């Protein structure tokens, strides 16, 4: 919050104890002046403080973690009342009649005064433990939210107000609790037409409509400070203050692709994502900029006569026809045309001297857009659009937004057989007809979306490289030197795990963050390639994914720096003392301390198991569907599911198989390590791997979570028949014998015989049965799996798994 620097600077003071901390402010106190910068009002438990420029903030670990959640503002918008703060005469006081007012100008003119009524006569100003500044019974800051909603804060006006929240810079507004707008342009909806209801004390964001659906939760039951803030970049985020470090953690955000937020970049610029949460605004070819964030303009003007202009094709670029710098400047600057083909679309643009570019969508509906101004440009594979920019024909700028690369690599260590992309619209239709005849429709959809993923993926990586974005510091993962990591890990002394990809050490950064440093063996590719891959991994940002903070690429050393997840991996909790699985795994977990391996771990209760399953499902759904680069995990197993303090699960090792060299991927140890979790089509047929392979692995993990047994360990122990197959056995228990309680972990079974628990177990097992279908196309998508677990879709009876069995080598 750049507009409030003064405010942010003063909070360290109460923490340093020299300050005057007031529990309340009343008529008995002397007037409160800006010069009394050490005077703060503090909530009983000390989570919140209030001080000059009349604002309330959360007490964070240091000044950057100190979020301002409310400030005295003008009633019409979010602008702070600050014009007279510097005025030495300004003061806040309660007068004899009990009126609280902030006066300035030496003449007692109130520049801010909360509503009062007759019963406020003896009132005091206090800050309560929810973060509300309260004056008497009549007024509280909760009734006038600006950009932040706290837990337990009701939305004034029941959410129908035109301005529910507004970013502190005044540019972005949450309208009627449902839609984000830049000026009058909407760019995001809360969720499927719902509107925001409130943020509950246990961290759930509730929606109205339906039955109070949940859109996000950090699953914390403990009392944490949480806030929902419409940030200055136009994104709506849910933050949770980590209790130990008192740092903010983003647990949910509405917009995943920041570039789709209107007004992010200036005129004619193209927004390109950089790192997990920042963007870069670059000039298109033939254009240049005067200032670092001002608009870009053509280097040379064309006349539009003769042949002095040409069109430069930029793939995956789209512009909007909306407003730009001034919110009233609303166009329209775009016309939609209905041409027969690309040539005609170009001709229409060329005929109009004002047309600066046209957009064309290949395939399907052949959309043709004609632009008279370049506004809100962004690069994203999701646009499925190419923009043809009109520049002088002599222009020879290089064009970074070009072509799809031939280099096709996947996240999975298998060879891929892909359909060759059709060249022209006509042949597309023919090919589609032929393929549809040959394969099931689902299979086709799967393959096509996989191809789309490859396009997106390789395109993004090329982009980053061509634009030189890999050298931009902002937002991306931090680069550490070998010496820094050596110091952080005390000379690589504390080994916490050895896995297929390398050895993991525990360490602590100079800012006291605990980290897990993974030293990779045999990394393929050069430094630039490593950088590009790491950037992509670092962009993956989800509550249930282990966060990567940085990397090291010194000479031939390759290391990744992750957040340290304290509780170790799920297998230790599931298979402890029985199940026969723990020793069978080829690898150990990354974050587990080897000395703790033998320790008795607490038994996870059913509710915790369910939360873990749901969290993992959401994380994988995010990898598959939501993040820009659609990524397959390929190694989902309990060892790769780490647990936080509160048993919130974090999936680790995603994207890693890309980093290691081919040779290593096919060693026996690796195959043994994932034995039991690999989908049939992968193990036996060596077929193309799609996201459905992860769904299978997840299904197996889900059964293990319920049963507390390793899938293959269970088999040896219980029957020893070669034909025994866990999914088949579970299917019979559920649908034939109807004895679901035989599946549930015997150590906890006794405590769960009520209807609600039985329903939870049933939902988990039936979802697993769908995930474990032999035929990949029969398995639901990971997003659907998460919904099945949530109980928001009905689970029909699946087909019985056939007698497939993972071969023992
Ligand atoms: C604020 O507190 C600091 C010590 O933390 C002290 O040095 C300073 O004089 C105080 N300022 C005022 C205006 O009281
Ligand atoms: C103010 O002081 C008077 C007299 O000491 C006391 O009776 C009254 O309760 C005080 N008011 C507040 C709000 O503290
Ligand atoms: C404050 O926190 C930021 C990141 O949250 C960190 O970079 C910085 O070093 C911290 N400063 C202090 C004084 O702890
Ligand atoms: C009080 O002072 C402010 C500026 O300091 C001025 O705008 C306002 O007109 C003054 N009011 C009166 C009643 O003098
Ligand atoms: C703080 O005040 C707000 C608004 O007056 C109220 O809704 C909330 O329940 C209060 N919280 C506590 C802990 O008293
Ligand atoms: C005045 O305060 C009383 C509580 O003391 C409250 O019930 C009433 O609604 C308030 N009136 C106004 C106009 O805010
Ligand atoms: C939030 O919404 C729920 C569901 O309607 C309701 O039970 C609860 O009282 C609301 N909380 C607040 C603070 O409005
Ligand atoms: C809300 O916005 C609509 C349309 O923009 C306008 O007609 C209406 O008057 C506004 N309502 C309020 C209370 O400002
Ligand atoms: C938001 O929802 C409205 C109506 O449901 C729809 O017309 C609009 O296109 C949606 N906007 C976005 C950005 O999804
Ligand atoms: C924009 O201009 C600044 C200096 O004015 C320059 O440093 C920067 O590289 C330019 N950016 C682009 C994308 O052209
Ligand atoms: C665009 O650039 C102008 C001039 O540098 C600046 O005043 C304006 O705020 C910028 N607009 C946006 C949306 O960044
Ligand atoms: C192009 O034309 C515009 C207005 O027509 C003018 O402002 C601009 O300076 C011209 N640019 C060049 C490079 O001549």
Look at ligand 1, atom 3, and give the residue with the nearest C-alpha. 18
pLDDT higher than threshold 60 for residue 512 = yes
How remote is the CA of residue 209 from the centroid of ligand 9, in Å?
16
pLDDT higher than threshold 90 for residue 487 = yes
The tens digit of pLDDT for each residue in 74-127 reads 777 788 876 555 566 778 888 877 888 888 777 777 888 887 766 555 678 888
Residue 124 CA: which ligand 2 atom is closest?
13
Residue 293 CA: which ligand 10 atom is closest?
1
How remote is the CA of residue 169 from the centroid of ligand 7, in Å?
29
**Ligand 7: lining residues by beta carbon, under 6 Å:** 152, 154, 197-198, 206, 212
Look at ligand 12, atom 8, and give the residue with the nearest C-alpha. 301
Closest CA to 233 of 194, 263, 269: 263
Ligand closest to 354 (CA) is 12
pLDDT higher than threshold 70 for residue 333 = yes
pLDDT higher than threshold 70 for residue 207 = yes
Sequence-distant (6+) residues with CB within 8 A of 470 are 464, 476, 528, 531, 532, 535
pLDDT of 382: 57
> What is the SS3 assignment for 717?
helix
CATH architecture for the domain at 260-392: 3-Layer(bba) Sandwich (3.50)
Comparing 253 with 142, the larger pLDDT belongs to 142
How remote is the CA of residue 179 from the centroid of ligand 8, in Å?
14
CB of 131 closer than 8 Å to CB of 49: no
Ligand closest to 16 (CA) is 1
Return d(Cα 419, Cα 455) in angstroms, integer. 12
pLDDT of 769: 92
Ligand closest to 264 (CA) is 11
- Ligand-binding annotation for 518, yes or no, is yes
Flag the least confident range among 36-50, 191-205, 213-227, 417-431: 417-431
pLDDT higher than threshold 80 for residue 562 = yes
The tens digit of pLDDT for each residue in 595-635 reads 344 456 788 888 889 989 999 998 898 887 765 445 677 78
* pLDDT category of residue 19 using cuts at 50, 70 and 90: low
Look at ligand 7, atom 14, and give the residue with the nearest C-alpha. 154
CB of 378 closer than 8 Å to CB of 317: yes
The tens digit of pLDDT for each residue in 165-197 reads 999 999 999 999 989 999 888 888 886 567 888
Cβ 761 under 6 angstroms from ligand 2 = no
pLDDT of 214: 67
Cβ 119 under 6 angstroms from ligand 6 = yes
Task: For residue 635, indicate whether it is catalytic.
Answer: yes
Residue 154 CA: which ligand 7 atom is closest?
14
Look at ligand 9, atom 12, and give the residue with the nearest C-alpha. 188
CB of 178 closer than 8 Å to CB of 189: yes
pLDDT higher than threshold 60 for residue 685 = no
Cis ω before 202 (30° cut-off from 0) = no
pLDDT of 391: 94
Flag the least confident range among 334-338, 362-366, 626-630: 626-630
Cβ 122 under 6 angstroms from ligand 6 = no
> With pLDDT > 70 as the criterion, what percentage of the chain qualifies?
68
Return d(Cα 308, Cα 393) in angstroms, integer. 5
**What's the rounded mean pLDDT across residues 499-507?**
84
Ligand closest to 163 (CA) is 8
Look at ligand 12, atom 5, and give the residue with the nearest C-alpha. 301
Cβ 281 under 6 angstroms from ligand 10 = no
Tell which CATH classification among 1.20.58, 3.10.620, 1.10.3470, 2.90.10 matches the domain 1-144: 2.90.10
Q: Per the structure block, which two tokens stand in for 663?
A: 């040779």
How remote is the CA of residue 24 from the centroid of ligand 1, in Å?
20
Return d(Cα 2, Cα 232) in angstroms, integer. 9
Residue 267 CA: which ligand 11 atom is closest?
1
**What's the rounded mean pLDDT across residues 247-251?**
82
Tell which CATH classification among 3.50.50.60, 3.40.50.720, 1.10.1020.10, 3.30.200.20 matches the domain 468-564: 3.30.200.20
Look at ligand 5, atom 7, and give the residue with the nearest C-alpha. 153
Rama region for 170: left / alpha / beta (φ>0; ψ in -120 to 50; rest): left
pLDDT of 87: 63
**Considering the chain, what is the average pLDDT of its residues?**
74
Comparing 541 with 588, the larger pLDDT belongs to 541
Look at ligand 6, atom 14, and give the residue with the nearest C-alpha. 138
The tens digit of pLDDT for each residue in 387-433 reads 999 999 998 888 877 643 222 222 232 222 222 223 333 434 444 44
Q: Per the structure block, which two tokens stand in for 692?
A: 């459905």
How remote is the CA of residue 64 from the centroid of ligand 3, in Å?
7
The tens digit of pLDDT for each residue in 688-702 reads 667 788 899 999 999
Ligand closest to 287 (CA) is 10
Cβ 12 under 6 angstroms from ligand 3 = no
How remote is the CA of residue 105 from the centroid of ligand 10, in Å?
44
Look at ligand 2, atom 1, and give the residue with the nearest C-alpha. 28
**Which of the given ranges, 229-243, 246-260, 740-754, has the highest pLDDT on average?**
229-243
How remote is the CA of residue 125 from the centroid of ligand 6, in Å?
16
Ligand closest to 76 (CA) is 8
Residue 291 CA: which ligand 10 atom is closest?
5
Boundaries of every domain in the chain: 1-144, 260-392, 468-564
How remote is the CA of residue 13 from the centroid of ligand 1, in Å?
8
pLDDT of 31: 85
Residue 104 CA: which ligand 4 atom is closest?
5
CB of 649 closer than 8 Å to CB of 591: no
> Longest C-alpha distance within the chain, in Å?
93
pLDDT of 39: 83
Look at ligand 1, atom 12, and give the residue with the nearest C-alpha. 38
Out of 18, 35, 39, mutate this one to test ligand 1's pocket (max ligand atoms within 8 Å of CB): namely 18
> With pLDDT > 90 as the criterion, what percentage of the chain qualifies?
17
pLDDT of 232: 93
**What's the rounded mean pLDDT across residues 360-373?**
76
pLDDT of 73: 84
pLDDT higher than threshold 70 for residue 222 = no
For β-strands 478-479 and 287-289, DSSP reports them as unpaired
How remote is the CA of residue 42 from the centroid of ligand 7, in Å?
26
Out of 174, 182, 189, mutate this one to test ligand 9's pocket (max ligand atoms within 8 Å of CB): namely 189
Look at ligand 11, atom 9, and give the residue with the nearest C-alpha. 325
Cβ 300 under 6 angstroms from ligand 12 = yes
How remote is the CA of residue 687 from the centroid of ligand 3, in Å?
49
Cβ 105 under 6 angstroms from ligand 4 = yes
* pLDDT category of residue 767 using cuts at 50, 70 and 90: very high
How remote is the CA of residue 189 from the centroid of ligand 9, in Å?
6
Cβ 28 under 6 angstroms from ligand 2 = yes
The CB-based long-range contact list for 796-801 (8 Å cut-off, 24+ gap) reads: 797/735, 797/766, 798/731, 798/766, 798/769, 798/770, 798/773, 799/773, 800/728, 800/731, 800/735, 801/725, 801/727, 801/728, 801/731, 801/769, 801/772, 801/773, 801/774
pLDDT of 248: 85
* pLDDT category of residue 45 using cuts at 50, 70 and 90: confident
CA dihedral 582, 585, 587, 590 (to 10 degrees): -40
pLDDT higher than threshold 70 for residue 295 = yes
Residue 131 CA: which ligand 5 atom is closest?
1
**What's the rounded mean pLDDT across residues 217-241?**
84
Cβ 117 under 6 angstroms from ligand 6 = yes
Comparing 548 with 592, the larger pLDDT belongs to 548
pLDDT of 717: 54
3-state secondary structure 660-697: ECHHHHCCHHHHHHHCCCCCHHHHHHCCCCCHHHHHHH
Comparing 56 with 38, the larger pLDDT belongs to 38
pLDDT of 444: 46
The tens digit of pLDDT for each residue in 426-474 reads 434 444 443 334 344 444 444 455 455 445 545 444 444 444 333 333 3
pLDDT higher than threshold 80 for residue 46 = yes
Rama region for 795: left / alpha / beta (φ>0; ψ in -120 to 50; rest): beta
Out of 135, 137, 144, mutate this one to test ligand 6's pocket (max ligand atoms within 8 Å of CB): namely 137
Out of 100, 124, 135, 138, mutate this one to test ligand 6's pocket (max ligand atoms within 8 Å of CB): namely 138
Residue 139 CA: which ligand 6 atom is closest?
14
| Residue in 47, 635, 664, 694 annotated catalytic | 635
pLDDT of 408: 23
The tens digit of pLDDT for each residue in 377-391 reads 988 655 667 899 999
* pLDDT category of residue 254 using cuts at 50, 70 and 90: confident
pLDDT of 471: 33
Cβ 187 under 6 angstroms from ligand 9 = yes
Look at ligand 1, atom 9, and give the residue with the nearest C-alpha. 38
Return d(Cα 145, Cα 382) in angstroms, integer. 35
Closest CA to 688 of 622, 772, 632, 629: 632
């Amino acid at each position: 919050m750049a507009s409030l620097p003064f405010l942010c600077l003063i909070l360290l003071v109460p923490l340093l104890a020299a300050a005057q901390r007031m529990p309340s402010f009343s008529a008995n106190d002397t007037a409160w002046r800006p010069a009394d910068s050490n005077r703060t009002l503090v909530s009983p438990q000390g989570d919140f403080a209030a001080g000059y420029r009349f604002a309330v903030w959360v007490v964070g670990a240091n000044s950057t973690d100190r979020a301002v959640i409310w400030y005295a503002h003008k009633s019409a918008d979010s602008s702070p009342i600050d014009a007279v703060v510097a005025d030495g005469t300004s003061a806040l006081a309660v007068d004899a009649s009990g009126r609280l007012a902030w006066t300035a100008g030496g003449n007692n003119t109130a520049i801010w005064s909360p509503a009062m009524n007759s019963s406020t006569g003896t009132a005091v100003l206090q800050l309560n433990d929810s973060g509300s500044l309260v004056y008497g019974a009549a007024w509280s800051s909760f009734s006038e939210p600006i950009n932040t909603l706290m837990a337990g804060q009701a939305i004034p006006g029941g959410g129908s107000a035109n301005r529910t929240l507004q970013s502190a810079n005044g540019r972005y507004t949450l309208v009627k609790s449902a839609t984000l707008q830049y000026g009058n342009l909407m760019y995001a909806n809360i969720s499927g037409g719902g509107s925001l209801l409130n943020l509950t004390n246990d961290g759930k964001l509730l929606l109205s409509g339906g039955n109070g659906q949940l859109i996000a939760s950090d699953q914390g039951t403990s009392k944490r400070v949480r806030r929902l803030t419409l940030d200055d970049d136009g994104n709506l985020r849910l933050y949770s203050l980590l209790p130990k470090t008192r740092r903010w953690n983003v647990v949910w955000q509405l917009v995943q692709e920041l570039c789709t937020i209107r007004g992010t970049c200036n005129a004619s610029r193209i927004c390109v994502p950089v790192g997990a949460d920042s963007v870069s605004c670059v000039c298109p070819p033939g254009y240049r900029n005067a200032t670092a964030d001002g608009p870009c303009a053509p280097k040379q003007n064309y006349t539009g006569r003769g042949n002095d202009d040409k069109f430069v094709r930029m793939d995956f670029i789209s512009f909007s026809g909306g407003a730009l710098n001034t919110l009233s400047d609303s166009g329209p600057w775009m016309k939609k045309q209905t041409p027969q083909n690309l040539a005609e679309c170009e001709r229409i643009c060329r005929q109009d001297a004002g047309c600066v570019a046209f957009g064309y969508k290949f395939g399907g509906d052949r959309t043709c857009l004609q632009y008279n101004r370049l506004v809100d440009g962004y690069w994203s594979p999701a646009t499925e659009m190419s923009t043809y920019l009109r520049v002088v024909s002599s222009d020879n700028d290089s064009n970074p937004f070009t072509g799809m690369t031939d280099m096709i690599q996947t996240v999975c260590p298998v060879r891929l057989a892909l359909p060759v992309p059709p060249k022209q619209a006509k042949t597309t239709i023919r090919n589609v007809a032929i393929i549809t005849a040959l394969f099931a429709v689902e299979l086709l959809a799967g393959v096509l979306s996989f191809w789309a993923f490859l396009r997106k993926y390789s395109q993004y990586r090329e982009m980053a490289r061509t634009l030189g974005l890999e050298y931009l510091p902002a937002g991306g993962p931090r680069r550490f030197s070998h010496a820094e990591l050596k110091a952080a890990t005390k000379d690589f002394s504390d080994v916490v795990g050895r896995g297929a990809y390398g050895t993991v050490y525990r360490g602590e950064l100079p800012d006291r963050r605990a980290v897990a440093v993974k030293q990779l063996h045999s990394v393929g590719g050069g430094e630039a390639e490593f950088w590009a891959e790491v950037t992509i991994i670092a962009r993956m940002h989800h509550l249930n994914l282990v966060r990567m903070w940085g990397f090291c690429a010194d000479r031939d050393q390759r290391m990744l720096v992750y957040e340290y997840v304290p509780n170790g991996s799920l297998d230790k909790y599931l298979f402890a003392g029985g199940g026969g699985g723990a020793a069978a795994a080829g690898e150990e977990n990354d974050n587990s301390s080897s000395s703790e391996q033998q320790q008795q771990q607490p038994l996870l209760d059913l509710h915790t198991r369910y939360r873990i399953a749901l969290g993992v499902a959401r994380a994988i759904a995010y990898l598959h569907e939501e993040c820009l680069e659609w990524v397959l995990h390929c190694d989902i197993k309990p060892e790769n599911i780490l647990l936080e303090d509160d048993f919130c699960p974090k999936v680790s090792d995603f994207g890693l198989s890309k980093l290691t060299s081919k040779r290593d991927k096919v060693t026996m140890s690796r195959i043994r390590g994932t034995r039991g979790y690999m989908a049939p089509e992968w193990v036996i047929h060596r077929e193309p791997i799609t996201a459905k392979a992860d769904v299978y692995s997840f299904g197996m993990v889900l059964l293990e979570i319920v049963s507390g047994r390793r899938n293959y360990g269970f088999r040896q122990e219980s029957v020893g028949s070669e034909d025994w197959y866990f999914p088949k056995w579970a299917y019979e228990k559920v649908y034939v014998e109807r004895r679901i309680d035989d599946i549930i972990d015997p150590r906890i079974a006794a405590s769960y015989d009520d209807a609600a628990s039985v329903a939870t177990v049933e939902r988990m097992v039936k979802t697993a049965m769908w995930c474990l279908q032999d035929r990949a196309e029969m398995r639901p998508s990971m997003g659907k799996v998460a919904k099945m677990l949530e109980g928001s879709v009905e689970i029909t009876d699946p087909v019985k798994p056939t007698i497939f069995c993972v071969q023992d080598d």
